[in-house]
């Protein structure tokens, strides 16, 4: 029986561990919270839980015993794990973006005869694989892709969309907040567009998804490198974006304008959330905090932005629970508290691609859309669409059906084709439409 070591037992680990256990793989889950690891393998003879903290414990004994290692730890730890996998000739899988440090391990991984497969989650992951399937299909018919727009969002299902923010956390709250600090870059009409993080949420437009509704889309990191990675040089438009419900971008632009995305620690002990807001806008007058905030942001008092801040509690008399926090911690804490799924509520994943394609005698637009829902009282859609691609990839590597070496992402047919086929069996499928220009 093959042995997979999984570092981390967080939000997306459940479907990954379940898939591997169900497919006859021995799985060791190593987590700093032993009870979380134990819950994932409970009642399974081929499952083992281990208490492990990457900052305190030596991973070597665990890595040595595995045939393959999956790292679901924060990305900053991936290269440390990868170097050990190279030393002991163990294949490795992550769902995270490839860092520069990880890229530099390509030669060592090839020499060790292992694959380090990254970006096999949802975004990144399924987005790459589904895009490349269509891009290579277009090439096979003698066409070329001239424009590519890809949008992805993890949102509450319509029946669970019950707060003014139109959002609930199906993955790391810290990850969501930190993503708001990213710069972005994309290609439009052949010109490179750079978006500083201060303007990220001013730089949005509307996208309509058939049978679902309208959403705001804003740029997701740097789209330009994927022109080369997808092999679509000469393209005029290249854009990867994030989908959110209406009103999200204006609210987050104001969050940035107010200074809530700062990292500096402050002395907030004994202060209320409203007092912190007042200090951010320099409010000391006789007008209400709400009125002063609207004036500072140059918006109406009854605007959706003010409503969202009020609902979140950022104008309240509630005292901040901890000292030594950063302003970012204060924001994240409130978001964590308020934007939670209730028992039995479903999340929803939307992944939508639009391709502008040219052939010798015609042009067409191709749309490919995945809409997936979480299972009430079961796995969320986010955990399934991130965890299952990594699980499927791991099993294919163990079975020798993915046999490449080095550091990779799933943009080659030998990876994406079998992974997408297996995901289809798990109910994760795209609907494709073609329109003549």
Active site residues: 123
In the block, residue with structure tokens 């104008």: 315
Residue 272, Cβ density class (10 Å: 0-12 exposed, 13-18 middle, ≥19 buried): middle
Strand-pairing partners, residue 366, are 355, 434
In the block, residue with structure tokens 């969002």: 153
Contact by Cβ (8 Å): 359, 434:
no
Please report how many Cα atoms fall inside a 13 Å half-sphere around the Cα of residue 260, on the Cβ side.
24
Report the C-alpha gap between 69 and 404 in whole angstroms.
16
Q: Residue 172: enclosing H or E segment and its boundaries?
A: none
Contact by Cβ (8 Å): 156, 426:
no
Report the C-alpha gap between 260 and 254 in whole angstroms.
9
Provide the strand spans (E) within 301-386: 347-358, 363-373
Neighbouring residues of 235: CB distance < 8 A, sequence distance ≥ 6: 145, 146, 147, 148, 187, 227
Report the C-alpha gap between 412 and 423 in whole angstroms.
16
Measured CA distances, 413 to 35, 52, 133, 215 (Å): 39, 36, 8, 32
Q: What are phi and psi of 134, to 5 degrees?
A: -75, -45
Report the C-alpha gap between 171 and 380 in whole angstroms.
10
Distance, CA of 118 to chain centre: 13
Report the C-alpha gap between 419 and 172 in whole angstroms.
25
**In 3-state terms, what secondary structure has residue 156?**
strand
Report the C-alpha gap between 48 and 26 in whole angstroms.
8
Q: Beta strand 68-71 with 91-94: parallel, antiparallel or unpaired?
A: parallel
| DSSP secondary structure letter of residue 68 | E
Strand-pairing partners, residue 431, are 369
Report the C-alpha gap between 34 and 13 in whole angstroms.
14
């Amino acid at each position: 029986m093959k042995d997979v070591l999984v570092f981390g037992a967080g939000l997306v680990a459940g479907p990954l561990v379940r898939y591997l256990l169900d497919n006859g793989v021995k799985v060791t889950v190593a987590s700093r919270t032993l009870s979380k690891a134990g819950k994932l393998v409970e009642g399974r003879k081929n499952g083992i839980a281990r208490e492990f903290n990457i900052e305190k414990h030596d991973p070597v004994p665990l890595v040595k015993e595995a045939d393959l290692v999956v790292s679901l730890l924060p990305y900053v730890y991936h290269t440390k794990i990868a170097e050990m996998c190279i030393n002991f000739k163990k294949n490795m899988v992550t769902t995270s973006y490839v860092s520069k440090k990880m890229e530099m391990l390509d030669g060592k991984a090839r020499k060790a005869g292992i694959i380090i497969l990254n970006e096999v989650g949802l975004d990144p992951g399924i987005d790459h694989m589904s895009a490349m399937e269509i891009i290579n299909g277009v090439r096979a018919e003698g066409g070329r892709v001239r424009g590519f727009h890809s949008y992805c969002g993890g949102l509450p299902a319509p029946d669970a969309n019950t707060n003014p923010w139109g959002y609930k956390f199906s993955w790391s709250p810290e990850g969501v907040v930190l993503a708001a600090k990213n710069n972005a870059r994309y290609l439009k009409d052949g010109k490179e567009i750079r978006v500083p993080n201060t303007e990220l949420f001013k730089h949005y437009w509307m996208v309509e998804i058939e049978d679902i509704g309208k959403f705001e889309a804003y740029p997701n990191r740097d789209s330009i490198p994927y022109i080369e990675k997808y092999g679509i040089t000469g393209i005029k438009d290249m854009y990867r974006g994030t989908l959110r419900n209406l009103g999200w971008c204006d609210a987050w632009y104001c969050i940035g304008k107010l200074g809530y995305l700062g990292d500096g620690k402050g002395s907030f002990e004994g202060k209320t959330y409203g007092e912190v807001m007042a200090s951010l806008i320099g409010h000391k007058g006789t007008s209400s905090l709400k009125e002063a905030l609207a004036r500072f942001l140059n918006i109406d008092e009854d605007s959706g932005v003010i409503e969202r801040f009020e609902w979140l509690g950022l104008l309240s008399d509630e005292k901040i629970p901890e000292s030594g926090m950063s302003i970012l911690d204060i924001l994240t804490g409130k978001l964590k508290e308020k934007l939670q799924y209730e028992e039995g509520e479903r999340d929803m994943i939307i992944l939508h691609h639009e391709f502008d394609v040219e052939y010798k005698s015609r042009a067409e637009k191709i749309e490919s859309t995945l809409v997936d829902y979480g299972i009430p009282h079961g796995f969320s859609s986010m955990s399934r669409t991130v965890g299952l691609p990594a699980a499927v990839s791991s099993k294919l590597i163990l079975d020798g059906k993915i046999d490449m070496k080095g550091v990779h992402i799933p943009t080659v047919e030998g990876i994406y084709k079998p992974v997408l086929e297996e995901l289809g069996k798990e109910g994760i499928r795209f609907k494709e439409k073609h329109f003549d220009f």
